[in-house]
Amino acid sequence: RPACEQISFNAGPGRQSRSRRYSGSDSDSPSDRKRPKKRGRPRTIPRENIKGFSDAEIRRCSALGPTLLWLRPPPASHPLSVFNASHRFVKSYKKFGEPLERLDAIARDAELVEKSEHDLKRLAETVHNGCVRTLRENPCGPEKASGGKRGKVKGPTFRISGVQVNAKLVISHEQELAPLHKAIPADPEDRKRYVIPCHSKAAHFDIDWGKEDDSSLLVGIYEYGYGSWEMIKMDPDLNLTHKLLPDDPDKKPQAKQLQTRADYLIKLLSKHLARKEAHKQAGTV
């Protein structure tokens, strides 16, 4: 019987190319030999923990994310509940000036009214102190994009129970909304009589809009938070129900116009308070 011819796949130039192809390695290519290797350890993001939860629980919470569907709500001690609560709290925290003095309003907006004042204050201090420390440890100036143009700066971040917090953004919100907190009376009865002390330009909305409406808009932002236009619209005491967010999307003011108007009015308040403080220091008030 003639001997069977043995075919070897272990020799010849084809094996080397097949080995590289299936192993996923092209380390012998000239381009790879010239490519510089990355050195150093990747940058880590500092993370704040919430007392009462272990690192393992927080890691599981972060991995699950806030979009997991439950047949029934998870218990308050579950790490996912902590993640969602922290996420809502940080989002609401950015809506108010002097947040440490507006814990009740933040709790209502974040749907955390069942939390104690002590827990809310501790979390607010964790957010604020974490932002201050992160900015101090990671000073960053404006970055420039290609071509010498100034690029968008994200700013340093840190984590609270898996929630990433942009320190620069949070602090800027605190500073920008501080004049509103100082200008609006804390007493509810005094707020009903509040009138903005500055002369403002016309709004150019598709409805009648005057100084009284500007004043009500500022009071609404103070009570419900910056950007809570639906809540402001639904408050009958503000008399803005038929003026904000018309059903016709082409009519103003919609959310974009309200944000622009609010920014403008808060800047007016800031300038007014600065002039008032300057006069006070000069002894003319």
pLDDT tens column, 249-277: 999 999 999 999 999 999 999 999 999 98
Q: Is 114 exposed, middle or buried (0-12, 13-18, 19+ CB in 10 A)?
A: exposed
To the nearest 10°, report the CA torsion of 173, 177, 179, 182: -120
Helix (H) or strand (E) holding 48: strand 47-48
Residues in the chain, total: 285
Do residues 257 and 244 lie in contact, with contact meaning Cβ atoms separated by under 8 Å? Answer: no
User: Where would I find the beta strands (DSSP E) of 144-280?
Assistant: 157-160, 163-166
Rounded mean pLDDT, 110-120:
93
Of residues 106, 97, 239, 244, the one with CA closest to residue 176: 97
Rounded mean pLDDT, 228-257:
97
Rounded mean pLDDT, 225-246:
97
Rounded mean pLDDT, 230-251:
97
- Is the pLDDT assigned to residue 103 strictly greater than 80? yes
- Is the pLDDT assigned to residue 90 strictly greater than 70? yes
- Is the pLDDT assigned to residue 148 strictly greater than 50? no
Tens of pLDDT, residue by residue over 51-62, are: 543 444 334 344
Q: Which CATH superfamily is domain 184-284 in?
A: Homeodomain-like (1.10.10.60)
Ordered by start, the domain boundaries in the chain are: 77-139+155-175, 184-284
Tens of pLDDT, residue by residue over 5-53, are: 444 434 444 444 444 443 444 445 555 555 555 555 445 455 555 554 3
Cα gap 219→225, rounded to integer Å: 10
pLDDT band at 124 (very low <50, low <70, confident <90, very high): very high
Q: Which carries the bigger pLDDT value, residue 159 or residue 56?
A: 159
Sheet holding 163-166, edge to edge: 47-48, 157-160, 163-166
